Amino acid sequence: MESSQIQNESKLLGLFTGLFVAVLIMSNILSSAKFIEIGWLVMPAGVIVFPISFIFGDILTEVYGYTRSRKVIWTGFAGILLYLFFILLAKVLPPASFWQDQAAYERLFAIAPRLAIGGFTAYLLGEFCNSFVMSKMKFWDKGQRGIKQGWRFVLSTIVGEGVDTIVVMLIAFSGVLAFPEMVRVAGSIYVFKVLYEAVATPFSIRFANWVKRVENTDKIDYPQETNYNPFAIFFHKN
């Protein structure tokens, strides 16, 4: 399959974009609602679903290339922005006379704005780092499958999740959690997300290769063809 076939009409990209945005919004809701503790690991509940966004990111870049993946990442950003807007709008609208849970609603989403700001920044930096590393490794590997493909999935996630975890903890939880708790939570989140990706890698690879066959697409991002500026979508056709 030649890389030029990326221009073919996609059968599945729209579906993946919708699922990607849904995962991001679910992650933000769950992270606002609850922390969970599993042994030594202490994490926002959103961590049980958020790593799926990086799996989607890996698959999108592996199949469609960086340029299309960039569009999906920005679509996810827009989805989170809408989520935050309506959470805040519902918070300030007067509750019905029979509604007894306004205080509970406000407590539940008390850190939502800060978490969302941290999440915005961490999401963009983490996802673009993940996609960049995946794209570059695929070019260096000449699109080989098997072990090298697995390493692309794992190493891109190690970088992307690391950036995401550090940024979101610094912005969203500084002053909310004590420093020892921040270190424990950050370590828990990072270890869990990387292990999540590692366990899912065999499935991710098989699924990505299936998508390649369905879409008849296996994009390699050649440096002379690819603009890696995350903001290029707003200024250039590609």
Please tell me the number of Cα atoms within 13 Å of 52 on its side-chain side. Answer: 17
Q: Is 57 part of any domain? A: yes
pLDDT at site 177: 76
Please count the residues of the chain.
238
186 Cβ contact list (under 8 Å, min separation 6): 165, 166, 169
Structurally, the chain folds into a number of domains equal to 1
Q: Is 47 part of any domain? A: yes
pLDDT at site 127: 92
The mean pLDDT value for 57-78 works out to: 94
pLDDT at site 113: 64
Q: Is the pLDDT of residue 208 over 70?
A: yes
Q: 73-128, pLDDT tens digit by residue?
A: 999 999 988 988 888 888 889 989 898 888 888 777 766 567 667 778 888 999 99
Task: Give me the domain span that covers residue 118.
Answer: 3-91+102-218
Q: Is 237 part of any domain? A: no
139 Cβ contact list (under 8 Å, min separation 6): 220, 221, 222, 223
pLDDT at site 120: 81
Q: Is 210 part of any domain? A: yes
Q: Is 235 part of any domain? A: no
Q: Is 75 part of any domain? A: yes
Mean predicted lDDT score pLDDT of the chain: 86
Q: Is the pLDDT of residue 3 over 50?
A: no
